[in-house]
Amino acid sequence: MQFQNTLAFAQKLDQEDTLGKYREEFIFPKVKDKEVIYFTGNSLGLQPKLAKSYIEGVMEDWAELAVEGHFHGERPWWDYHERLAAPLAKVVGARKEEVSVMNTLTVNLHLLMVSFYRPSKKRFKILCEEKAFPSDQYMLQSQVRFHGLDPKDVIVEVKKRAGEHFWRTNDVLSKIDEIGGELALVLMGGVNYYNGQVLDMETITKAGKQVGAHVGWDLAHAVGNVALQLHDWNVDFAAWCSYKYMNSGPGNASGIFVNKKHLNKKNIPRFEGWWGTKKETRFLMKPEFEPMENADAWQLSNPPVLALAPYLASLRLFEEAGMPALIEKRDKITAYLEFILMEINKETEDTFEVITPKDRGCQLSVLLHGHGKRLFNYLIANGVITDWREPNVIRLAPAPFYCSYMDMYRFGQILKKGIRSKTV
């Protein structure tokens, strides 16, 4: 399609957008009495209007049923989390039994590392990407020290090539081959938080498995954003947060994936708790742990139902829209945003560059030249909610559920004015 940086063209794209109706399902903050242009769904998704009624349903059951809400009411609490498994499995390309929801992201990665990082004298190294998200770095380092090892001897980072802003798949594969039989675990971010790059998860997983390593993925910026086939790719485990593209609310519950081949095993190393034991005998209070036959075996405590309610509400929208349609719009609206950025860049004499490669979801990371945070502050003051990463990058994520093509056009006009403004 031949894009145009005009009001009429943006309006035409919105008229043709089959997902445009979902914009009305979300609540937008306002600046100067106008709905903001919201580019930070990669950090915190907007609130679905449906979420409030789902939370109120839990509150009403609590008020009217008290403890009996665990087993009665419209959505009983004791198996509330099970309602999320089937729709989530569609989003991540998994079997229903391979998915569960519990805790938060880094907690779940720690719990999964108990099962899938089992260093031996020969096989003990971990492969990750250079400058992984800090929480992942802290988690990996602390896990290594927990096993009495030195992170400097264990953690191997795949670096970007000099002068480049992205990773090359061949460099990851070469590093896997180089480590070979010493490699115990590959654990990387499926979509990089800083530059928005989508790694070739299928190819990297296959390479890791070929040398005998376990392979896991941090999918914080991937779930609800990119196409995933975790089961078919033979991924061992994965975890993700739900408050970014999944729109479940700040700091909300994390999802996990555990490949079917690891399920229903009593002897797998795992930290265990009450809610991971068999549902049928859980209330017999037996002293022996009998694992659930699905990914719920990694659960520890009863689910935080008030937190799961808005997640379930959001998943209803994902069920309706479907990931294929969301990905189709994601590609189109992100390409339109990139086109507008390049048009503005030509008009303002190359004041920035897009550092996100073509292997991407709906995030474009823009490296500013000579403007820095003053331009970011100008955008915020004028109703463009974007996000700043040091030293001089703004991240733009046009989430397809609620961003419009008109948003992209309006943003371009505000950006151009901001660059030319004497206040910047």
Structural domains in the chain, sorted by start: 7-35+322-420 (3.90.1150.10), 52-321 (3.40.640.10)
CB atoms within 10 A of CB 25: 21
> Tell me, what DSSP letter sits at residue 277?
B
Per-residue model confidence (pLDDT) at position 369: 85
Per-residue model confidence (pLDDT) at position 371: 74
Specify the 3-state DSSP secondary structure of 363.
coil
Alpha-helical (H) ranges within 47-195 are 49-65, 82-92, 105-116, 134-146, 151-154, 169-179
Structure tokens at 424: 């910047």
Q: Round to whole Å and give the CA distance between 400 and 387.
A: 18
Q: Round to whole Å and give the CA distance between 373 and 360.
A: 25
| Nearest partner of 1 among 388, 337, 335, 276, judged by Cα | 335
| Nearest partner of 159 among 145, 146, 147, 174, judged by Cα | 174
8 Å CB contact between 110 and 143 = yes
Helices (H) and strands (E) in the chain, counts: 12, 17
- Bridge partners, 40 (sequence order): 397
Among positive and negative, which fits the CA dihedral 207, 208, 209, 211? positive
> Tell me, what DSSP letter sits at residue 71?
T
As a whole number of Å, the end-to-end CA separation of the chain is 34
Residue 197's contacts (CB-CB under 8 Å, 6 or more residues apart) are: 166, 167, 191, 356, 357, 359, 360
Per-residue model confidence (pLDDT) at position 391: 87
Structure tokens at 331: 């590609």
Q: Which residue has the tokens 């769904």?
A: 41
Residue 306's contacts (CB-CB under 8 Å, 6 or more residues apart) are: 55, 58, 59
Structure tokens at 36: 């903001």
| Nearest partner of 178 among 198, 156, 197, judged by Cα | 156
Per-residue model confidence (pLDDT) at position 294: 97
Per-residue model confidence (pLDDT) at position 372: 76
Per-residue model confidence (pLDDT) at position 424: 44
> Tell me, what DSSP letter sits at residue 200?
-
Chain center to CA of 8: 34
pLDDT in tens, 165-206: 999 999 999 999 999 999 999 999 999 999 999 999 999 999
8 Å CB contact between 400 and 46 = no
Question: What single-letter amino acid sits at 263?
Answer: L
In angstroms, what CA-CA distances link 240 with 58, 297, 320, 394? Answer: 24, 17, 21, 23
**DSSP state string for 351-362:** -EEE---SSBSS
Structure tokens at 48: 């679905």
Q: Round to whole Å and give the CA distance between 323 and 346.
A: 34
Per-residue model confidence (pLDDT) at position 21: 97
CB atoms within 10 A of CB 9: 15
Q: For the purposes of burial, counting CB atoms within 10 Å of the CB of 76, is it exposed (0-12), middle (13-18) or buried (19 or more)?
A: middle
Q: Which residue has the tokens 């990463």?
A: 389
Please report which helix (H) or strand (E) contains residue 129, including its range. strand 125-129
Inter-axis angle of helices 323-347 and 7-16, nearest 10:
180
| Nearest partner of 223 among 385, 108, 393, judged by Cα | 108
Where the chain has pLDDT below 70, the residues are 422-424
Q: Round to whole Å and give the CA distance between 371 and 336.
A: 23
Name the pairing type of β-strands 352-354 and 254-258: unpaired
Query: What's the length of the chain?
Result: 424
